[in-house]
Amino acid sequence: MNRHLISAADLSLHDAVAILDTAEELSRLAERPIPKLPTLRGRTVVNLFYEDSTRTRISFEAAAKRLSADVINFSAKGSSVAKGESLKDTALTLQAMGADAVVIRHHASGAPHRLAEWIRGSVVNAGDGTHEHPTQALLDAFTIRRRLGRLEGLRVAIVGDILHSRVARSNVWLLRTLGARVTLVAPPTLLPVAVDTWLCEVSYDFSSLLPFCDVVMMLRVQHERMSQAFFPSVREYSRRYGLDNDRLALLPSHAIVMHPGPMNRGVEIAADVADSPRSTIVEQVANGVAVRMAVLYLLLGGAGGGAASGDGAAERAVSAERSVSAERSAAEQRSMVAEPVKAVR
Ligand code: CP
């Protein structure tokens, strides 16, 4: 795996499966009385958030803490950013404080790429503008695989405001890598200009696609990124592209409904559908912690540092585990740590 996770497009099939398998192992930690491992003890993870977030910020914080990393939460609001400090100067300040990994959410597409040029630690993209949100795609893939048992050959419809969606772009890349077939469904005004170069299909007829879908992923209408009218009215949008009970009934019985959140209930998704047993929305949030633990674990190479898929990081991680064996039984550590290490060899 690379040192950074900036784009889902950078993940090979091997990397993606390694993250999902590692997350599967780490998710079992949540069943324990004390859901914590010492793996990243002494490492510092900085959450650098320039844009609002509930799920991603809390999830990365929980993930880092469950691996015993020190966590610094930085929010642009109330910081020296308000006095005009640049991203570069903020990044260098964080580096001086010893950040081993920086998790960044930024309103500007490409901000994580720039950050990766300035700091020595790992950079994890937690959502940059309308570009990418790779850990959301990973947790979505994890959720689909858990619910439906596989990804290969599945038909996934991603529906709604594709134009402003970093989730859609990352999911198209990752799902394609994992062997799923993706169809984007949106009004023409909410599709990117170059959508014909994306590795997916496009449809404008939501209802006729539904009987053939295994997964329907609804996207939020991002009013805050819209500077003009992209559809005649919210009512018209919901009628043509919203998922209500009538449309839900068109899906095959095994199909699931996803949404990355936050939702506009009653706009892209009816409240009944969001709360239905076929909805995985709450599971997606829970799975996000295990997936982000896996990403941090693999990028930081356990207690050894460096990329986890090489450079002896796996051995260093195992060795670090031995040093904490007085605190945890060997069997417990083997089940939660050695397996993920094995998965990326
Ligand atoms: N799905 C997602 O990124 O949610 P937040 O904006 O709450 O982090």
Domains of the chain: 8-133+291-315 (3.40.50.1370), 134-284 (3.40.50.1370)
pTM of the model: 0.88
Atom of ligand 1 at shortest distance to CA of 126? 3
CA 260 – ligand 1 centroid, Å: 7
Q: Residue whose CA is closest, atom 4 of ligand 1?
A: 55
CA 70 – ligand 1 centroid, Å: 22
State if residue 187 touches ligand 1 by the CB under 6 angstroms criterion.
Answer: no
User: Across-strand partners of 243?
Assistant: 269
Annotated catalytic residue: which of 66, 105, 169, 220? 105
Annotated catalytic, 133?
yes
Q: In what order do the strands lie in the sheet with 70-75?
A: 70-75, 44-49, 101-106, 122-128
State if residue 107 touches ligand 1 by the CB under 6 angstroms criterion.
Answer: no
Atom of ligand 1 at shortest distance to CA of 52? 6
CA 134 – ligand 1 centroid, Å: 12
Helix boundaries (H) for the chain: 13-27, 55-66, 87-96, 111-118, 134-148, 166-177, 206-209, 234-241, 245-248, 271-274, 281-300, 313-323, 330-333, 339-343
Atom of ligand 1 at shortest distance to CA of 133? 3
What is the chain's pLDDT, residue by residue, as a tens digit (345 residues)? 789 999 999 999 999 999 999 999 999 988 899 989 999 999 999 999 999 999 999 999 999 999 999 999 999 888 889 889 999 999 999 899 999 999 999 999 999 999 999 999 999 999 999 999 999 999 999 999 999 999 999 999 999 999 999 999 999 999 999 999 999 999 999 999 999 999 999 999 999 999 999 999 999 998 887 777 788 788 999 999 999 999 999 999 999 999 999 999 999 999 999 999 999 999 999 999 999 999 999 999 854 444 444 333 333 343 344 343 333 333 333 333 333 323 322
Quote the pLDDT of residue 302: 57
